[in-house]
Chains A and B, each alone.
Chain A
Amino acid sequence: MTAIETNSTMIASTSSNNSGLGIFGAISEWLTTTSHQRIGRLMVSISLLWTIAVVAVGLLLGVERISSSSDLIDATSVPQLFSIFRVGLIFGSMAPMALGISLAIVPMQIGSQVLAFARGALFGTYLWCFGMIIVAVSYIGNGGPGGGDRQMVDLFLIGMGVVIAGLLIVSASIATTALTSRRAGLTIVDAPIFVWSSLVTSISLILTLPVMAGALIYVAVDHSYERSTFGATDGVNAWIGWALTSPQIFLFAIPTLGVLAQIVATMTRGKQPLRGGLLIGVGLTSTALIGTVTQSFYSVQLDTQFADFAKSLLPFSMFNALPILGVLIVLGLCLLAMKNEKAKPSASFVLAFFGVGMVLTGMTGNLLLRITDLKLSNTVFDEAVLVYVGYGIILSLLGAIAHFGPRIWGRKMPTIPVIGLGLIGVLGVVLAALPYYIAGFTDQPAARTTGSLGDNSQIWNSIAATGQAIFLLFLVAFIGLVFKSASSGEIADEEIFETVSANS
């Protein structure tokens, strides 16, 4: 079946009629907009800035790690930088970018002119943005988990609360749109797969972020009243740390599956065998939320009695392996669809496919991380999992921008530069993360830049820093390409406004 998307050039032409408003009028119109495309673009743009900042921090830490005696960064700032890398990547980059793209695209795909509770979504976007500014200020003032300034740690906790509230409101708007604003006759099962993945992601966030908020409230009250029931400053990580690692971060990977399946559906003109399998695959990945809400890590020990092994195997498999199965199903079905001879190649496929591949590598790494016999926890292996999953998600979402962007601004993105940059991005992710997988087995400690860092650590850390630098360059170049294409790219033909949903 075919879903006709709203032709945004018409919308753009009507909005260009408002050129008489002047610069302040135009800014004001953007800041108070109820257009789902503008709200989504606002959120994605700010999240891209955060992504650049976070990858720059990653690069800084990578360079600092090359020499174990380096003092490029003040020793007291190192834990704060590791923390801002994690918090910024998850709440400043991955989550808002995924939600922002959903805000811009979902109404178009279901034939709705408007977003449900658009003003709420705009308010949520501002809340998130304001919250992240508070979080950044608290880090600068030596706040954050384990920070030295008590008031700044309080500010960090408030900032995180505001960020969660903002993301929740945006998620609620997306879920309500997908559930209630579909054009007549379009069921949620028949809707394009990206809509389904956006719905699953938003509901997953609605169910998990309040759990984090609950822990945050206790910690904030405890901390601001100078109690130590929750471990004072050091307790912040202990109580909200689960939300900053796997399996919670797998939930942000769900839209990447939708992006890949959507691009493949467009390439193959909807000739998707076993479409129901795609829905199941996306759903299976969301099982990570069950592991998340229990606020625990489920590990398994191989060298133990069979009864103990069997007892821990079930939760271990459910919460660590099921999401992998979901990704494998989607990946397999997409490749199956690609066997179609009439498949029309797309540049964005490169980014989306390799992005999901990186996420899968990260999830597999997480599986190994939870096998206690391997003794990989508290090593850089854990950081590599985050980089693989986080950067993989970013790569895939940039693929979504390359795929859906022309439908919004009405201009094409050049094929060869997108493919070339995509491959550079993939190289960056692999170089930034893979060395830490290896270094994890040589017991290189996590979140440390000085002292004994394990065998050959200099080599692995140098390669990882190079990877971070390549990824940073890729990001800047890709964002530049997006701006250039949006402003002076080749005018897109009408064909791109017709999206073929992944129906067989």
Chain B
Amino acid sequence: MSTSATALNAGPKTAMRRQSLVLSGLLSAASAMLMGSMLAIWLQFRANAPLRESSDGSKMLRDWLPENIKIPEVATNTMMMTIVITCIMVQWAVYASRRADSKHTTLALGVALLTQIAMINAQIAVYPQMDIGVRDSSYTTMFYAITATMTVLIVIGLAFTLVAMFRSIASRLNDHDLVVAHAVYWYSLTAIFAAMWLVVYVQK
């Protein structure tokens, strides 16, 4: 008599439950659509602005950005660089989290948190430097609306970082998905910010 028994095939593998990652992807898509629509309206208004002569009379310009408004480029460029640094930090967190290295994950997220606070600080600093009121012109109204919305998205990201960091401090070593989801959100936010930086702060 044979001693071997015919075993049933193994059941299908349980589905991966990467809920945080999927949610983060959806949140990123929604954020991109939100800022995309605001940038599109911004570009439409800028394209439709009437033409005027430049101050030296040498060329015709779109009468969009009022002549007396100067955008503090040091602060805005620093913001762009800071968000890139944030990306590097969150990727470091992903790397450390994959190796279940709680200390480095926490450290990376902590540094990312500081850079995010720095970004918000820089954005808040931009407003008084420009010395403009929301009511001053179409440009200023739209400038405040679009930059404040971007800041809200950054604050949401900051809250996400705080959650990920506290969970890392609590040594939740199975939280790799959450750290990856956090990174996905920040990558998308970086792309969105880069688009806004180019349109609003560089091209003006």
Residues on B with beta carbons closer than 8 Å to the beta carbon of A172: 23, 26-27, 30
> Does B34 lie at the interface of the complex (its beta carbon under 8 Å from any beta carbon of A)?
yes
Q: Which of B50-58, B69-77, B134-142 contacts A (4 or more CB under 8 A)?
A: B134-142
A195 to chain B, nearest CB (A): 14
Q: Which residue of chain B has its CB nearest to the CB of A205?
A: B30
User: Cβ of B31 and Cβ of A210 under 8 Å apart?
Assistant: yes
Q: Which of B11-19, B98-106, B109-117, B165-173 contacts A (4 or more CB under 8 A)?
A: B11-19
User: Cβ of B145 and Cβ of A217 under 8 Å apart?
Assistant: yes
Residue in A206, A229, A293 whose beta carbon sits within 8 Å of that of B37 in the complex:
A293
Interface 0/1 of B28-40, CB less than 8 Å to A: 0111011111100
User: Cβ of B142 and Cβ of A206 under 8 Å apart?
Assistant: no
Which of A180, A206, A226: most chain B Cβ within 10 A?
A180
> Does B144 lie at the interface of the complex (its beta carbon under 8 Å from any beta carbon of A)?
yes
Residue in A203, A229, A293, A295 whose beta carbon sits within 8 Å of that of B141 in the complex:
A229
Known interface pairs A172-B23, A180-B17, A185-B12; A214-B134 also in contact (CB < 8 Å):
no
Residues on A with beta carbons closer than 8 Å to the beta carbon of B142: 218, 221, 229
> Does A181 lie at the interface of the complex (its beta carbon under 8 Å from any beta carbon of B)?
yes
> Does A56 lie at the interface of the complex (its beta carbon under 8 Å from any beta carbon of B)?
no
Expressed in whole angstroms, the Cα–Cα distance for A203 and B26 within the complex equals 8
User: Cβ of A226 and Cβ of B22 under 8 Å apart?
Assistant: no
Instruction: Report A120-167 residues with CB < 8 Å from chain B CB.
Output: none
Known interface pairs A168-B30, A206-B26, A211-B34; A226-B135 also in contact (CB < 8 Å):
yes
Residue in B14, B22, B29, B35 whose beta carbon sits within 8 Å of that of A207 in the complex:
B29
Instruction: Report B1-22 residues with CB < 8 Å from chain A CB.
Output: 11-19, 22
Total A-B pairs, Cβ < 8 A = 98
User: Cβ of B18 and Cβ of A180 under 8 Å apart?
Assistant: yes
User: Cβ of A218 and Cβ of B41 under 8 Å apart?
Assistant: yes
Residues on B with beta carbons closer than 8 Å to the beta carbon of A182: 15
> Does B149 lie at the interface of the complex (its beta carbon under 8 Å from any beta carbon of A)?
yes
Expressed in whole angstroms, the Cα–Cα distance for A497 and B19 within the complex equals 27
Q: Which residue of chain B has its CB nearest to the CB of A187?
A: B15
Residues on A with beta carbons closer than 8 Å to the beta carbon of B36: 211, 214
Expressed in whole angstroms, the Cα–Cα distance for A227 and B144 within the complex equals 13
- Give the B interface residue count (CB, 8 A): 32
User: Cβ of A229 and Cβ of B33 under 8 Å apart?
Assistant: no
Expressed in whole angstroms, the Cα–Cα distance for A262 and B45 within the complex equals 46
The binding surface of chain B is classed by DSSP as helix
Residues on B with beta carbons closer than 8 Å to the beta carbon of A213: 34, 37
Expressed in whole angstroms, the Cα–Cα distance for A225 and B22 within the complex equals 38
Q: Which residue of chain B has its CB nearest to the CB of A182?
A: B15
B59 to chain A, nearest CB (A): 26
Residues on A with beta carbons closer than 8 Å to the beta carbon of B34: 210-211, 213-214
Instruction: Report A87-122 residues with CB < 8 Å from chain B CB.
Output: 116-117
B115 to chain A, nearest CB (A): 26
Residue in B13, B26, B41 whose beta carbon sits within 8 Å of that of A176 in the complex:
B26
A2 to chain B, nearest CB (A): 15
Expressed in whole angstroms, the Cα–Cα distance for A296 and B36 within the complex equals 16
User: Cβ of A176 and Cβ of B19 under 8 Å apart?
Assistant: yes
User: Cβ of A221 and Cβ of B35 under 8 Å apart?
Assistant: no
B63 to chain A, nearest CB (A): 14
Residues on A with beta carbons closer than 8 Å to the beta carbon of B19: 116-117, 176, 180-181
B34 to chain A, nearest CB (A): 4
A204 to chain B, nearest CB (A): 11
Known interface pairs A184-B15, A206-B29, A218-B38; A227-B135 also in contact (CB < 8 Å):
yes
Residues on B with beta carbons closer than 8 Å to the beta carbon of A226: 135
> Does A344 lie at the interface of the complex (its beta carbon under 8 Å from any beta carbon of B)?
no
Expressed in whole angstroms, the Cα–Cα distance for A215 and B142 within the complex equals 11
Expressed in whole angstroms, the Cα–Cα distance for A176 and B27 within the complex equals 11
Residues on A with beta carbons closer than 8 Å to the beta carbon of B37: 210-215, 293, 295
Known interface pairs A176-B19, A214-B41, A229-B141; A184-B12 also in contact (CB < 8 Å):
yes
User: Cβ of A211 and Cβ of B145 under 8 Å apart?
Assistant: no
Expressed in whole angstroms, the Cα–Cα distance for A121 and B145 within the complex equals 28
Residue in B15, B23, B149 whose beta carbon sits within 8 Å of that of A116 in the complex:
B23
B40 to chain A, nearest CB (A): 8
User: Cβ of A181 and Cβ of B14 under 8 Å apart?
Assistant: no
> Does A175 lie at the interface of the complex (its beta carbon under 8 Å from any beta carbon of B)?
yes
> Does A486 lie at the interface of the complex (its beta carbon under 8 Å from any beta carbon of B)?
no
Interface 0/1 of A269-299, CB less than 8 Å to B: 0000000000000000000000001010000
B20 to chain A, nearest CB (A): 9
Q: Which residue of chain A has its CB nearest to the CB of B16?
A: A180
Which of A116, A175, A183, A221: most chain B Cβ within 10 A?
A221
Q: Which residue of chain A has its CB nearest to the CB of B13?
A: A184
Residues on A with beta carbons closer than 8 Å to the beta carbon of B14: 184
User: Cβ of A225 and Cβ of B149 under 8 Å apart?
Assistant: no
Residues on B with beta carbons closer than 8 Å to the beta carbon of A212: 37
16 contacts between A and B (CB under 8 A): A116-B23, A117-B19, A180-B16, A180-B18, A183-B15, A184-B14, A185-B12, A203-B26, A206-B26, A210-B30, A213-B34, A214-B33, A214-B37, A218-B145, A221-B145, A293-B33
Residues of B within 8 A of A (CB): 11-19, 22-23, 26-27, 29-31, 33-38, 41, 45, 134-135, 138, 141-142, 144-145, 149
A-B pairs with lowest CB-CB distance, top 8: A214-B37, A185-B12, A210-B34, A210-B33, A229-B138, A211-B37, A214-B38, A221-B145
> What would 19 more interface pairs be, CB under 8 Å, given A180-B16, A181-B19, A214-B34?
A116-B19, A117-B23, A172-B23, A176-B26, A180-B18, A184-B14, A185-B12, A186-B15, A203-B26, A206-B26, A206-B30, A206-B33, A207-B33, A211-B37, A221-B144, A222-B145, A227-B141, A229-B138, A295-B37
